[in-house]
């Protein structure tokens, strides 16, 4: 098996390399010059244009502007609105004026240093207003002169324009003082929702709400008092998020609120929370038909997307890649459809077999069962395989397991053993069917699944061309992280500093010449390598003599490294600490000495040997000193260091996905009977266990066993008559488990995890280019 892994790894990676090469910038530029149009992309573009046209018609119906022309007279005063420099800022002014007072400005008719007068109805020409009425404070319809800043601070209309059009007639009835107070309250509400403390309160509420969702596990539901406290907190957070929604409607206006896609997401989450609370209040939340509505509370952590900038920038980058990812999914579906139809024709209805009722194992050959009738006559069970090719949908699931190399051995065994419909399978009765799976693995797995990586790289190349010299990696970073990234790049491109001056004192000069000699560096590198070999000679239950000899050798190397550190300190004085590698060497030496001293003290005072081994781990740090002399390793580590901000943001997104799926898993599969891939540790009973099993599956490891356990929906695999909160006993649900696991694997393994590969490849390529540029200079 080890030889197979060693030989297969380069071959499999060649597929990936070829695919990445096909997505290179040169190939992409050549494809752009081709005259053949992408018919699928053109069809999708037409659909998108049709949808935009429909939305445009709807918005025009609700947002008709009441256009009025403005006449401007020349006037200079401190309390007027000056429209100079080709009406700079006019667009902002128009956008902030309520719908009922919307204006139409023709740049050709506007004179400089103009005055705008705002009345209760609209902005009107000042020439049409009696100057006497400007001083009449008792007249509710008298106009008001506002400055430019005052108009910019006016909040937009609360309601859509069609509502403002019909409600606008009541402004003549409502006194102006009440209208001014209304505008004043909306201005205060706008300042409140824009304040940083308000944002911190919402972030704290999101984190606390997510914590309460994570605490609702199988143990909490058995404690009514504790569960009621969590339920009260859930109601509190629903009120907070609803109040936030109403305040933003009041401050921004309903139309302006829904112009932001993140606000749409918050709105949907609040609606789900409010509906869940209403169902709780009516006492019908535990009814299976309404339980799914309460389960949708797991989407509440998605509110963090718009608050945490690190996650938001990654999501925005992914949104840009959605068309390409959709195209790859479409290619996979069409390509796999051919193999699924072939599978239905070859294996449809042939995976049935005669099994023992209690163990589900295939009956022994000595039972002389040849078909379904013999099986039933002898009181056995005629059972179908859980994964089969009876229809196209089941064929897709079987092919997905084969493509991810999880559970595919059992599928191939069933295929090669199958004879015919209602006929008992026989071992390896048709081995030629393996050709079907070999072809699918080559074409459907090595090729199509690796297209996801190619698509992400392709999206990076497109973004790189748009961003220019900044590089595509910056779209995964916040502003502060971009500063760190640019600083690391400058440090990597920085030329070597000026040589250290030779000391004047004879001893310091001697040590300086010795430690800066290339032969001395080679000697230290050899000592590090030999020390590493000695550390590799340690093993469990080694003899006392072996342990003592290795201890003496280790002390010898510690002495050499300590002497090296002392000589450099004498030669360089305080300048020794201005070189990062010297600081690293000093820390390793101090850790090694402390490890030796603490090791002896612990051994004398009969401390647990495990703690002694932990202290001695500090010696492993000496191996890292080899990085100092290896330029290739330094380039790799530099690429990793530069990638850390983007990798951290992608990790946050992956954790958020795992968090949401953990909540869903605890809601749907907390009481599933432990079998196959669901064990005492890997299950959905508690939040930590859910994270563990989801982290395992994001590498596609063992997900077929988890699928088998979650799809046990009938006896004897489970007991649906048990009185449990799941209303299904300890049974799973095939209709929920399959979309749950497949969607999670696509999002986590095929998209998010591949983003790690794309980011590291991008930074490594950039690091290589920087190194080559420095060498040329």
What are the DSSP calls for 612-644, one per residue?
Answer: HHHHHGGGGGGGGGGGGG-HHHHHHHHHHHHHH
- The three-point CA angle 189-177-256 to 5° equals 35
Cis status of the peptide bond prior to 390, with omega within 30 of 0: no
Q: Angle 631-669/479-493 helices, nearest 10 degrees? A: 160
SS3 (DSSP) at 498: coil
Q: Where are the alpha helices (DSSP H) in 537-617?
A: 544-572, 580-604, 609-616
Q: Virtual CA dihedral for 642, 644, 646, 651, nearest 10 degrees?
A: 160
Closest CA relative to residue 242, chosen from 315, 153, 327, 303: 303
Please give the pLDDT value at position 343.
93
Residues of the chain predicted below pLDDT 50: 1-15, 17-19, 23-37, 63-148, 152, 469
**Terminal-to-terminal C-alpha distance of the chain:** 48
582: exposed, middle or buried (C-beta count within 10 Å: 0-12, 13-18, 19+)? middle
pLDDT of residue 344: 93
Are 736 and 668 a contacting pair, CB within 8 Å? yes
Tokens of 157: 């209309």
Give the pLDDT score at 95: 42
The 10 Å Cβ neighbour count of residue 73 is 11
Task: Provide DSSP, 262-320.
Answer: HHHHHHHHHHHHHHHHHHHHHT-TTSHHHHHHHHGGGGGGGGGGGT-HHHHHHHHHHHH
Q: Which of 250, 208, 252, 243 is nearest to 229 (CA)?
A: 208
Q: Would you give the DSSP letter of residue 353? A: E
Token pair 């400058």: residue: 490
Our CA angle for 516, 517, 519, nearest 5°, is 140
Q: Residue 728: which of 745, 713, 740 has the closest Cα?
A: 713
Please report where in the chains the tokens 């003082």 appear, as a residue: 177
> Can you say whether residue 727 is alpha, beta or left, with left for phi > 0 and alpha for psi between -120 and 50 degrees?
left
8-state DSSP, 716: T
- Please name the helix (run of DSSP H) or strand (run of DSSP E) that holds residue 20, with its range, or none: helix 2-22
pLDDT in tens, 214-245: 888 888 877 888 888 888 888 898 899 899 88
- Averaged confidence pLDDT in the chain: 73
| Per-residue pLDDT, 770 | 67
Return the pLDDT at 279. 77
Nearest to 121 by CA among 140, 107, 93: 140
| Among the listed residues 383, 400, 268, the one whose alpha carbon sits nearest the alpha carbon of residue 329 | 400
Instruction: Find the helix or strand (DSSP H, E) in which 123 lies.
Output: strand 123-124
Q: What is the pLDDT of residue 340?
A: 93
For the chain, what percentages of helix, strand and coil (3-state, to nearest 5) are there? Answer: 70, 0, 30
- Cα–Cα distance measured from residue 208 to residue 219, given in angstroms and rounded to the nearest whole number: 19
């Amino acid at each position: 098996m080890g030889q197979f892994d060693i030989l297969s790894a380069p071959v499999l990676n060649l597929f990936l390399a070829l695919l990445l090469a096909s997505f290179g910038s040169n190939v992409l530029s050549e494809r752009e010059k081709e005259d053949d149009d992408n018919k699928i992309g053109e069809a999708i573009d037409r659909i998108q244009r049709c949808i935009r046209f429909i939305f445009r018609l709807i918005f025009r119906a609700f947002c008709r502007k009441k256009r009025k022309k403005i006449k401007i007279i020349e006037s200079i005063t401190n309390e007027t609105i000056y429209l100079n420099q080709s009406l700079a800022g006019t667009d902002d002014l128009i956008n902030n004026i309520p719908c009922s007072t919307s204006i139409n400005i023709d740049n050709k008719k506007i004179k400089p240093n103009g005055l705008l007068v705002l009345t209760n109805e609209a902005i009107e020409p000042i020439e049409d207003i009696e100057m006497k009425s400007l001083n009449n404070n008792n007249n509710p319809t008298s106009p008001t002169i506002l400055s430019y800043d005052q108009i910019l601070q006016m909040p937009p209309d609360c309601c859509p324009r069609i509502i403002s059009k019909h409600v606008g007639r009541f402004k003549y009835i409502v006194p102006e003082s009440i209208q001014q107070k209304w505008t004043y309250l909306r201005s205060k509400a706008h300042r409140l929702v824009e304040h940083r403390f308000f944002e911190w309160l919402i972030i704290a509420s999101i984190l606390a709400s997510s914590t309460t969702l994570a605490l609702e596990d199988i143990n909490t539901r058995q404690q009514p008092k504790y569960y009621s406290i969590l339920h009260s907190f859930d109601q509190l957070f629903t009120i907070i998020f609803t109040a936030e929604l109403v305040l933003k409607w009041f401050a921004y206006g309903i139309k302006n609120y829904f112009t932001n896609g993140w606000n749409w997401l918050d709105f949907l989450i609040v609606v789900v929370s409010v509906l869940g609370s209403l169902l709780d209040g009516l006492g019908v939340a535990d009814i299976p038909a309404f339980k799914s509505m309460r389960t949708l509370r797991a989407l509440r952590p998605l509110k963090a997307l718009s608050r945490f900038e690190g996650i938001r920038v990654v999501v925005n980058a992914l949104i840009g890649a959605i068309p390409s990812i959709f195209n790859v999914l479409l290619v996979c579906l069409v390509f796999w459809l051919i193999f699924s139809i072939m599978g239905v024709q070859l294996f449809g209805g042939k995976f049935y077999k005669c099994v023992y009722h209690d163990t589900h194992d295939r009956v022994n050959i000595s039972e002389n069962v040849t078909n379904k009738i013999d099986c039933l006559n002898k009181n056995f069970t005629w059972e179908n395989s859980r994964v089969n090719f009876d229809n196209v949908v089941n064929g897709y699931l079987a092919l997905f397991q084969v493509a991810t190399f999880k559970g595919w051995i059992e599928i191939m065994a069933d295929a090669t053993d199958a004879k015919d419909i209602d006929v008992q399978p026989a071992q390896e009765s048709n081995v030629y069917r393996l050709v079907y799976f070999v072809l699918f693995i080559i074409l459907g797995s090595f090729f199509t699944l690796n297209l996801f990586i190619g698509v992400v790289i392709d999206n990076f190349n497109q973004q790189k061309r748009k961003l220019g010299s900044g590089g595509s990696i910056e779209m995964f970073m916040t502003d502060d992280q971009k500063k760190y990234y640019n600083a690391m790049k400058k440090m990597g491109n920085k030329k070597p500093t000026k040589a250290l001056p030779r000391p004047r004192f004879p001893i310091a000069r001697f040590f300086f010449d010795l430690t800066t000699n290339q032969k001395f560096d080679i000697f230290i590198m050899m000592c590090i390598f030999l020390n590493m070999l000695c550390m590799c000679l340690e093993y469990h239950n080694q003899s006392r003599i072996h342990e003592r000899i290795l201890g003496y050798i280790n002390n010898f190397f510690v002495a050499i490294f300590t002497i090296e550190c002392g000589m450099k300190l004498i030669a360089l004085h305080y300048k020794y600490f201005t070189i990062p590698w010297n600081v690293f060497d000093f820390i390793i030496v101090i850790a090694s000495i402390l490890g030796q001293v603490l090791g002896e003290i612990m051994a004398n005072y009969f401390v647990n040997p495990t703690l002694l081994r932990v202290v001695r781990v500090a010696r492993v740090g000496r191996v890292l000193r080899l990085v100092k002399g290896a330029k290739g390793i330094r380039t790799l580590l530099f690429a990793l260091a530069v990638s850390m901000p983007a990798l951290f943001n992608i990790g946050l997104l992956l954790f958020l996905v795992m968090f949401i799926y953990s909540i869903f898993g605890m809601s749907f599969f907390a009481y599933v009977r432990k079998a196959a891939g669901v064990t005492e540790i890997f299950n959905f009973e508690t939040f930590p266990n859910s994270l563990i099993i989801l982290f395992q599956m994001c590498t596609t490891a063992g997900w077929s066993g988890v699928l088998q356990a979650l799809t046990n929906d009938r006896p004897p695999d489970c007991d649906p008559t048990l009185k449990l909160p799941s209303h299904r006993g300890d049974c799973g649900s095939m209709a929920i488990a399959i979309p749950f696991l497949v969607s999670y694997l696509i999002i986590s393994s095929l998209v998010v995890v591949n983003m790690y590969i794309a980011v590291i490849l991008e930074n490594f390529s950039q690091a290589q280019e920087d190194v080559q540029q420095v060498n040329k200079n």
